[in-house]
Amino acid sequence: MRMVVTGGAGFLGSHLCDRLLAEGHSVICIDNLLTGTTANIDHIRDERFLFIKHDVTNYIYVEGDVDFVLHFASPASPIDYLELPIPTLKVGSLGTHKALGLAKAKGAGFLLASTSEVYGDPQINPQHELYWGNVNPVGPRGVYDEAKRFAEAMTMAYHRYHNVNTRIVRIFNTYGPRMRLNDGRVVPNFIKQALKNEPITVYGDGSQTRSFCYVDDLIDGIYRLMRSEEHEPTNIGNPHEMSILEFAETIIQLTGSSSEIVYKPLPTDDPTVRRPDISKAKKILKWEPKVSLEEGIEKTIEYFRQKLEL
């Protein structure tokens, strides 16, 4: 099949391009390189791969047939939302509209990369797909959360009104090689700090929880969802939940670091808990994560070691 991946030079997008090529598909990767980088796709030497530098909030022109559009373009880290609030809103809203328009025009399938952030600061734990969430629309994270909620609504409207063959994946915290060293998220921050024996910055008292999924597991779940016929949102993530303090201790242990833990203020609207209920993915996609935290973190540490030239 001929695939379009928006955000294809980003962390998840580039891993998705790799997987699609490995499955025998052709890939057109579209990215404006705002938070993505060609370094993530430089290794691809394949005539079935085409990179187009383009901002998908503007009309997307693709020559020839397209079988599937996978919309992964978006800043995705809380510090990005603070620095890029309007591009974040635009790519989730206008960008989703353009990507859906492309799918409709080509008679292609469409997959939206949505997020656990649609659940906001959840009042239930774990979060299942039927929970409507608890989002602050006007807080600093609202630009991402609301754009993705709009993107889901737009996707369902194109499905119901235009009969576009759509999918929605709600992605939970994911980590692995090609995360940006300076993207401000907890995984690169802690690993970088640990490798340099600098203080590990835990925000708040570290009792807030997250559940981390290794990128290969996530991409496998997304690939299965693409091949399914499921139109309603589907959670993909690893249900292994831990507190951020526990996570800091794990990173110190796995890197053999002498870093100490220091406490910093908790960012506004930082969710107190987050854990996917993956019973739906297990049932309809026969999917569950396979990579343990230790194994995944080891691979990620190796990547950051090379990047930091340590």
- Region binding ligand UDP by CB under 6 A among candidate stretches 6-14, 81-89, 106-114, 197-205: 197-205
Q: Does 270 bind ligand UDP (CB under 6 A)?
A: yes
| Least CB distance to ligand UDP at residue 41 (A) | 24
Question: Distance (Å, rounded) from C-alpha 168 to C-alpha 232?
Answer: 6
Q: Distance between terminal CA atoms of the chain?
A: 41
Question: Distance (Å, rounded) from C-alpha 273 to C-alpha 203?
Answer: 14
Packing angle, helices 293-307 and 186-195, rounded to 10: 60
Told to judge if 144 belongs to the known catalytic residues of this protein, a careful annotator would answer yes
Task: Identify the residue among 4, 66, 69, 202 touching ligand UDP (CB under 6 A).
Answer: 202
| Least CB distance to ligand UDP at residue 180 (A) | 12
Classify residue 70 as exposed, middle or buried by CB count within 10 Å of its CB (0-12, 13-18, 19+): buried
Q: How many helices (H) and strands (E) does the chain have?
A: 10, 13
User: Is there a contact between 274 and 243 (Cβ–Cβ < 8 Å)?
Assistant: no
Nearer to ligand UDP, 95 or 122 (CB): 122
- Kindly state the tokens that stand for 108: 């292609």
Nearer to ligand UDP, 185 or 307 (CB): 185
- Region binding ligand UDP by CB under 6 A among candidate stretches 84-92, 125-133, 202-210, 215-223: 202-210
- Kindly state the tokens that stand for 139: 């807080």
Catalytic-role residue among 144, 158, 214, 223: 144
| Least CB distance to ligand UDP at residue 209 (A) | 8
Q: Catalytic residues, which ones? A: 144
Interacting residues with ligand UDP (CB under 6 A): 77-78, 173, 185-186, 189, 201-203, 208, 210, 244, 266-267, 270
